[in-house]
Chains A and B, each alone.
Chain A
Amino acid sequence: MSDLEAIGQGLMADIKSADSLDALDAIRVGALGKQGRVTALLKTLGGMSADERQVQGPRINGLREAVAAAIATRKAALEERALAARLASEAIDLTLPAPDAPQGSVHPVSQVMDELAEIFADLGFAVATGPEIEDQWHNFTALNMPESHPARAMHDTFYLRANEGEEARVLRTHTSPVQIRTMTSQQPPIRIIAPGRVYRSDSDATHTPMFHQIEGLVIDKAIHLGHLRWTLETFLKAFFERDDIQLRLRPSYFPFTEPSVEVDVGYSIEKGRRVIGGAEGWMEVLGSGMVHRRVIEACGLDPDVWQGFAFGTGVDRLAMLKYGMDDLRAFFDGDLRWLRHYGFRSLDVPTLSGGVGA
């Protein structure tokens, strides 16, 4: 064995057994550094004859390359081992809880109003609004309820304090004044819904002094009771997402409609709870009718040209019937437990393609 081979074997053995990057680097310096043994061998090439260099040159250079490659390989192995060791030491218990992310929610009344807006948009109804502090003309008189009308007393009206000599304003007792505001501000044909807060001085287990109604109004030239029925059927089927919705129309009385129709919807009992659909029983859900000609006249429209229908129902009640809450008072309490249970996620946006229920 030549010296060269002996040096090579020695270095290779050292590299293989190097146990750390530092030890490996010491070997590299000892072999390939300025004072290294392989470097020293390379330096001997200068003193050789051309023939000798012809033989020794490739051998010594070969040794240098082999040593360098071995060091690189060993280095990679050591680094991999070091990384593995570091990673092993970095292990954490991911069963520990992550930070809480607050869960927001949308109130059922808001959600249902969005659902209604979506459904009625498809039927061509825009959403109209009006003031809640309303004058008596809009809330009563224009709706064919003159001052002594018994219905006016029936409404359990909240009156606002008025200055001497001024007529007291009222908190609107229904969303119907929005009918008047719409008909007095835009020309027919009209298709609107008007959701919002309404007020009655009434408070017990099933009534709250504030609640939400939604009003519908269609004014056009040849609108009749059949259109009202179709609209309500179509809306209720879409809202309750059932095809077996059945309506029962009953004659009734509202001062602002003639004929007036009370609408019952059929329900069935599923798992001990009332569910809309079927006809095991009936519950009152809507008041409606053909807009009284005096109302149309009061709005400055010609009742011999324009006619139409109006309907109104409770938004809170629709929410209760669809989503199963049974206590209206809880709607206005702000109890976080209730809001999280009955509320909706921010991305539960009702759409026609994605559905209007969540």
Chain B
Amino acid sequence: MKFTLSWLKDHLDTSADAATVAEMLTRIGLEVEGVENPAEALAPFRIARVLTAEPHPQADKLQLLSVDAGDGPVQVVCGALNARAGLVGVFGAPGAYVPGSGITLKVAAIRGVESRGMMCSMRELELGEAHDGIIELPADAPVGAAYADWAGLDDPVFDVAITPNRQDCMGVRGIARDLAAAGLGTLKPLAVPDVTGAFPCPIEIRTDDAEGCPAFYGRVIRGTRNRPSPDWLQRRLTAIGQRPISALVDISNYLMFALGRPSHVYDLAKLASPIVARRAAPGETVTVLNGKTYALTPEMTVIADTREVHGIGGIMGGEHSGTADDTTDVLLEIAFFDPERIARTGQAVALASDARSRFERGVDPTFLDDALAILTGMILEICGGEPSEAVRAGAAPVADKTVDYDPGLCARLGGATVPAAEQRAILERLGFGVSGEAPMRVTVPSWRRDVDGPADLVEEVVRITGIDSVPSAPLDRMPGVAAPTATPEQLVERRVRRAAAARGLNEALTWSFIAEAEAAVFGGGAWALANPISEDMKVMRPTLLPGLLAAARRNADRGAATIRLFEIGRRYLADAERLTLAFVLAGDKTARAWRTGKAQPFDAFDGKVEALALLAAAGAPVDNLQVLGEAAAAYHPGRSATLRLGPKTVLAEFGLLHPALARTLGLDGDVVAGEIFLDSIPARRAAGRMRSAYAPPALQAVSRDFAFLVPEGLAADALVRAVRGADKAAIVDARLFDLFTGQGVPAGQKSLAIEVTLQPADKSFTEEDLSAVSAKIVAAAAKLGATLRG
């Protein structure tokens, strides 16, 4: 919402300057986004008279002007066609910055002739679009005077962000009222002309949609003359960034910006009585003032006559029935549209307008008759004509809202101690009616649709007294040291994050949404956006890998030799959002080096070690995990695995990325990836801080090596488990340390060597004890087809 200081002062009797006004606006919740005084930029430009104009000796299209800007004749080279002796215009001397062309003037030779300044066009001064000649001022404009002052441009323009609840401040007058309440002057009375209709309204006005358009007031004015608006009106509209169009349109706009009251002016000649507010019929369309055509639905309220639709009610008028230069008879519309209907319609047609932004916030339902009178009065004054009697179809819904207000609430909720009398005075200045003491009975003004409870009144009082002066009050503190607040899930997340970083992985964050094709590789996503901003960000990720792999590719494209990335975030499945850690290892595991020679790629075991380490950090029982197959199809089918607790609970999967997928993603070489399903890790039972009792064994452990020949297809882990389980009392560890095929090992078999650690309990092992354990181990292994290697 923009307005100028002089415009504000039409409504507010104040001596405050722009800076004071701006500060106060922000303080009371009308956030100033900018204050600009166009005169400041135009200060160097003065009114000047062209004394003589002669042809340029070297150029046909240029003239040599002798210009007087108050200090005697100055020679200026000028290319404007309208430059001539006697013209009074605007002159910039050397040193002046020309805002419209972005140059600073200096003395220059133009085609061999010195030029000491410039006569300016409107566009060069950013005062308009006109650039077909230099500015022409009235002959009596004072030569030598500052142009901006003379033209009334010394008028700061405020740009204020109005929050959606403050419809009343969508007009200059509402802002003036707020400032007056804050003590920055007094609100001037609003002049409402007394308009007497000279004849009955010749067109029938009706509302057939009492819900969407409960009130439709109007009148006809005959014999107006549409013309450009007077300078003062054009200047105000231009100052706030509106393009003056014609007096009838400008007056309607002026009413909206001055008083927050949208209206519409129809060319009566284009209407066929009756004119009706009604629901749109299915399939109807309308072309509105922006030149675009919109399809309408029965959920929308339109203004129509017997022939066609003339506008989307409260949003934008129709192109066909708008006023033109030759318009003489007009119909004025002051209607009240239901805010919710406007909001829904506006969203449906995706059309923003100044009218919509006011109606959807809710205009003052009591300000229809006066608005019609003011609109009529301005048109009569500027365009002439003869008004009809006013027609009032329907009635705007005026809710008499009263709030019982305990002034003590201001301190209890707002934290500000404000005497009741002062609270009453503030509320009254804002237009509230106050009677009684405690509680006060507060009547809400019709223009404050946003206020309906005591808390709103606290806000009114506190924002006017200054919300920034509310003193701090400490929250109560529980006695003692602050108690821990993290949940077990949060602790797991923190631990795995720090563990991953400690292991050399870099944490990335990637988008929660991915392309449909990326999701499809991983079995598709359960959730898709109806309105994605791009096809690349459409499906909620069912796995974190696509995002990380894309990040890996970007890094590879930037020349990163080694990529170790991880992310902790949610997978979005049909039933829940599941906390997950994913990692990607790509490029060189070790760079080429003087000791190790060539660069080494990552392999699936690098994925396994990360998965196990991170599961351990998360508190998963890693010793009990089974390594099984059936990892996602995104992995190399023979070089990937799942880590499970029991046959069903998958805690992690990892492996070499499927080479075909890696190629599709543009990743060269072996890529290893994995995901830890953090939400599947069973919570550790809370058993207090006390550890189980423990004393290190007094006797030294013994180790024995066994080498077995086993069928080639046997999983090594199966043999290790069998060996470890062969004598649960004596065997404390079994570790596979060698895998061998080749010379001495029959075809179809492999040799696996296992170091078994035996822990004696209360007495050392005898040779017989050890032989017995060895026999058990061999027997257990034999069940898997293993034979002790000779």
Contact = CB atoms under 8 A, between A and B. Distances in A.
Interface of A: 96-97, 99-107, 109-110, 114, 117, 120-127, 131-133, 146-151, 153-154, 158-162, 168-169, 171, 191, 197, 199, 201, 203, 209-210, 218, 222-231, 233-234, 248-253, 258-262, 290, 292-293, 307, 331-337, 339-340, 343-347, 349, 352
B163 to A, nearest CB: 3
A121 B501 contact: no
Interface string B449-464: 0100101101100110
Interface of B: 26-29, 31, 163-166, 339-341, 343-344, 346-347, 360-361, 411-416, 450, 453, 455-456, 458-459, 462-463, 467-468, 470-475, 477-478, 482-487, 490, 494, 497-513, 527-533, 537, 540, 547-548, 550-552, 554-555, 558, 560, 562-565, 568-570, 572, 577, 590-591, 593-596
Given A230-B475, A259-B463, A343-B506, A127 B486 contact: yes
Contacts of A334: 508-510, 547-548, 550-552, 554-555, 565
A259 B455 contact: yes
Nearest to B507: A107
Most buried by B among A97, A104, A230, A293: A104
Contacts of A226: 415-416, 470-473
Given A104-B564, A127-B490, A339-B506, A252 B31 contact: yes
A230 B472 contact: yes
Contacts of B341: 148
B471 A343 contact: no
15 contacts: A117-B490, A120-B485, A132-B572, A158-B531, A159-B531, A197-B512, A210-B511, A224-B411, A224-B412, A225-B416, A249-B468, A290-B413, A343-B501, A344-B501, A346-B501
A182 B470 CA distance: 28
B555 A225 contact: no
Contact of A150 (B360, B413, B483, B540): B360
A352 B481 CA distance: 11
Nearest to B29: A251
Given A153-B343, A159-B530, A227-B473, A100 B467 contact: no
A339 B507 contact: yes
Contact of B482 (A122, A224, A234, A347): A122
Given A250-B27, A251-B28, A262-B31, A105 B361 contact: no
Nearest to B453: A293
A336 B339 contact: no
Nearest to A122: B482
Contacts of A168: 530
Given A99-B590, A104-B506, A251-B28, A121 B340 contact: no
Nearest to A334: B551
Contact of B475 (A99, A158, A231, A250): A231
A104 B594 contact: no
Contacts of B347: 153
Q: Is the interface of A mostly helix, strand, loop or mixed?
A: mixed
B507 A210 contact: no
A51 B386 CA distance: 167
A158 B569 CA distance: 19
A201 B527 CA distance: 16
Contacts of A343: 501, 506-507
B504 A260 contact: no
Nearest to B537: A209
Contact of A224 (B413, B468, B507): B413
B467 A259 contact: yes
A8 B528 CA distance: 102
A337 B494 CA distance: 23
B475 A336 contact: no
Given A105-B506, A253-B166, 13 more contacts: A104-B564, A117-B485, A123-B477, A124-B478, A160-B530, A161-B527, A171-B512, A199-B512, A225-B462, A248-B468, A251-B462, A253-B29, A336-B555
A160 B529 contact: yes
Contact of B512 (A132, A337, A346): A132
Contacts of A169: 527
A335 B559 CA distance: 11
A150 B537 contact: no
B415 A336 contact: no
B473 A230 contact: yes
B163 A104 contact: no
Nearest to B494: A114
Nearest to A331: B509
B558 to A, nearest CB: 7
A101 B548 CA distance: 22
A261 B563 contact: no
Give the 3 A-B CB pairs with smallest separation, nearest first.
A102-B504, A334-B551, A251-B29
B577 A259 contact: no
B507 A148 contact: no
Most buried by B among A201, A259, A345: A259
Contact of B413 (A252, A307, A337): A307
Contacts of A105: 501, 506-507
A171 B529 contact: yes
A159 B527 CA distance: 10
A336 B486 contact: no
A258 B459 contact: yes
Contacts of B562: 102
A124 B346 CA distance: 45
A340 B565 CA distance: 11
A261 B563 CA distance: 45
Contacts of B165: 253
B529 A335 contact: no
B529 A224 contact: no
Contact of A225 (B470, B502, B594): B470
B497 A249 contact: no
A132 B571 CA distance: 11
A148 B344 contact: yes
Contacts of A126: 485, 487
A171 B552 CA distance: 26
A132 B577 contact: yes
B509 A346 contact: no
Contacts of A96: 594
Contacts of B554: 333-335
B588 to A, nearest CB: 10
Most buried by A among B29, B463, B508, B569: B508
B771 to A, nearest CB: 43
Nearest to B566: A104
